[in-house]
């Protein structure tokens, strides 16, 4: 099943992992529960971890709004 198109801008990051971690990511790809590529698995894991850290109050939840230019903006006031 195709993933729906993003409604907000996405940013690209490059990470470096050990061969062992890469293999674990590929194992998760084969299971199909976290994504269809290693990059999707990492994205899912990061999103889930950030949500968990917010729920346990280890991170403060930030407020966002759609700006006049159609881009997502951090609310600072």
Residue at 42 is within a domain: yes
For residue 52, is it within any domain? yes
4 found inside a domain: no
Number of domains in the chain: 1
Q: Which domain holds residue 58?
A: 19-74
Is 3 in a helix, a strand, or coil?
coil
Give ∠ CA 48-77-52 in degrees, rounded to 5. 15
Mark out the alpha helices in 1-77 (DSSP H runs).
19-31, 38-55
Burial class of residue 29 (count of CB atoms within 10 Å of its CB; 0-12, 13-18, 19+):
middle
Query: Within a domain: residue 7?
Result: no
Reported pTM: 0.77
pLDDT tens digits for range 10-37: 889 999 999 999 999 999 999 999 999 9
Residue 10 lies in a domain: no
With respect to residue 1, please indicate whether it lies within any of the assigned structural domains.
Answer: no
Give the pLDDT confidence of 44-65 residue by residue, as tens digits. 999 999 999 999 999 999 999 9
């Amino acid at each position: 099943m195709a993933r729906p198109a993003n409604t907000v801008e996405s940013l690209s990051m490059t990470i470096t992992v050990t061969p062992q971690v890469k293999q674990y990511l590929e194992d998760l790809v084969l299971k199909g529960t976290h994504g269809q590529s290693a990059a999707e698995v990492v994205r899912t894991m990061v999103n889930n971890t950030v949500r968990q850290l917010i729920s346990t109050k280890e991170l403060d939840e930030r407020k966002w709004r759609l700006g006049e230019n159609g881009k997502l903006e951090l609310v600072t006031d």
